[in-house]
């Protein structure tokens, strides 16, 4: 039976790739994004699967919009079987604020926490209510190698990703267990969704193709990945073992 997959940040990058792949695999897809233009283009591109694809323009930082997106998904398709929180990004890059950590306005860091941490928490909270009724579901967080390495500039991004990878993924897995809801986190290294990704070094010598990340998430979220719960999984081309140059 077809599943309903809700993807935040679904109008671009990894989220868009996931939406396209799930739709082509016959699943029902809800793309949630705050960029209406990009969202409309993403939905239009999936014209062949139009009866199984819904675009919802919503900001993950606004809990009432999050609940509205959940309600529209359930009204359209009757369930939410997989939630993948892709919406996110480094606050200083998105807000285009240069300078030292302490020179950037504090609002920039609030924005980073709201987008990367609270956005995922809001969706987990809203969608868990539905998954608890269904007594099944899979929740996927997107972490980052930055959650391991830290970042001189994007402190909120690094802190949020660490929190997602550890405390939040474990806690949501604990909260979901009695409802047959599992939760895991996939933490990519550099991905070619944006220019410059290839400048970040990896042991393999390149950034990831977007499809490599999407395929890994889809495997872990499928029945084949059903033993994966409460844990985070780096997919980083070996970047995390490059701290000691004597080793390679």
- We find the least distance from the C-beta atom of residue 38 to ligand NAD, in angstroms, to be 6
CA atoms of 134 and 73, how far apart (whole Å): 14
Please give the residues from 194 up to 223 whose contact with ligand NAD meets the rule CB under 6 A: 194, 197
- Under the binding rule (CB under 6 A), the answer on residue 34 touching ligand NAD is yes
Of the pair 136, 231, the CB lying nearest ligand NAD is at 231
- Under the binding rule (CB under 6 A), the answer on residue 112 touching ligand NAD is no
Q: Would you call 157 a catalytic residue per the annotation? A: yes
> Which stretches of the chain are DSSP H helices?
13-24, 36-45, 63-77, 91-95, 106-113, 119-134, 146-149, 155-163, 169-176, 210-221
- We find the least distance from the C-beta atom of residue 178 to ligand NAD, in angstroms, to be 28
The set of residues, in sequence order, having a beta carbon less than 8 Å from that of 37 and lying 6+ positions away, is none
Name the nearest CA neighbour of 169 among 157, 180, 161: 161
Helix crossing, 13-24 with 36-45: angle to 10°?
30
Binding mask 139-168 for ligand NAD (x = CB under 6 A): ---x-x------------------------
Cross-strand pairs, 26: none
- Under the binding rule (CB under 6 A), the answer on residue 38 touching ligand NAD is yes
- Under the binding rule (CB under 6 A), the answer on residue 61 touching ligand NAD is yes
Q: What is the DSSP letter of 2?
A: P
Of the pair 67, 132, the CB lying nearest ligand NAD is at 67
3-class secondary structure, 98: coil
Which of the residues 22, 109, 122, 157 is marked catalytic? Answer: 157
CA atoms of 43 and 179, how far apart (whole Å): 32
Please give the residues from 11 up to 30 whose contact with ligand NAD meets the rule CB under 6 A: 11-15
CA atoms of 128 and 114, how far apart (whole Å): 19
Binding mask 180-199 for ligand NAD (x = CB under 6 A): --------x-xx-xx--x--
Of the pair 62, 134, the CB lying nearest ligand NAD is at 62
CA atoms of 152 and 99, how far apart (whole Å): 11
- Under the binding rule (CB under 6 A), the answer on residue 33 touching ligand NAD is yes
> Which residues are part of the catalytic machinery?
157
Task: List interacting residues with ligand NAD (CB under 6 A).
Answer: 8-9, 11-15, 33-35, 38, 59-61, 86-89, 115, 119, 142, 144, 188, 190-191, 193-194, 197
């Amino acid at each position: 039976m077809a599943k309903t997959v809700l993807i935040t940040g679904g109008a671009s990058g990894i989220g868009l790739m996931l939406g396209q792949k799930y739709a082509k695999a016959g699943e029902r897809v809800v793309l949630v994004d705050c960029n209406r233009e990009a969202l409309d283009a993403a939905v239009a591109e999936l014209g062949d699967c139009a009866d199984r694809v819904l675009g919802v323009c919503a900001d993950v930082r606004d809990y009432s919009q999050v609940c509205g997106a959940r309600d529209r998904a359930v009204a359209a398709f009757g369930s939410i079987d997989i939630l993948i929180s892709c919406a996110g990004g480094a606050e200083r890059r998105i807000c285009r604020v240069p300078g030292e950590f302490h020179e950037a306005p504090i609002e920039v860091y609030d924005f980073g926490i709201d987008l990367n941490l609270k956005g995922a928490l809001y969706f987990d909270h809203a969608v868990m209510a539905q998954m608890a009724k269904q007594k099944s579901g899979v929740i996927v967080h997107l972490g980052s190698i930055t959650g391991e390495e830290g970042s001189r500039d994007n402190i909120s991004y690094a802190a949020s990703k660490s929190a997602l990878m550890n405390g939040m993924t474990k806690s949501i897995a604990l909260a979901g267990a009695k409802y047959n809801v599992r939760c895991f986190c996939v933490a990519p290294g550099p991905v070619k969704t944006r220019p410059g990704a290839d400048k970040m070094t990896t042991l393999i010598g390149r950034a990831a193709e977007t499809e490599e990340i999407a395929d890994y998430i889809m495997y872990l979220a499928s029945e084949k990945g059903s033993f994966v719960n409460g844990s985070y999984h780096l997919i980083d081309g070996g970047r995390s073992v490059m701290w000691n140059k004597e080793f390679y």
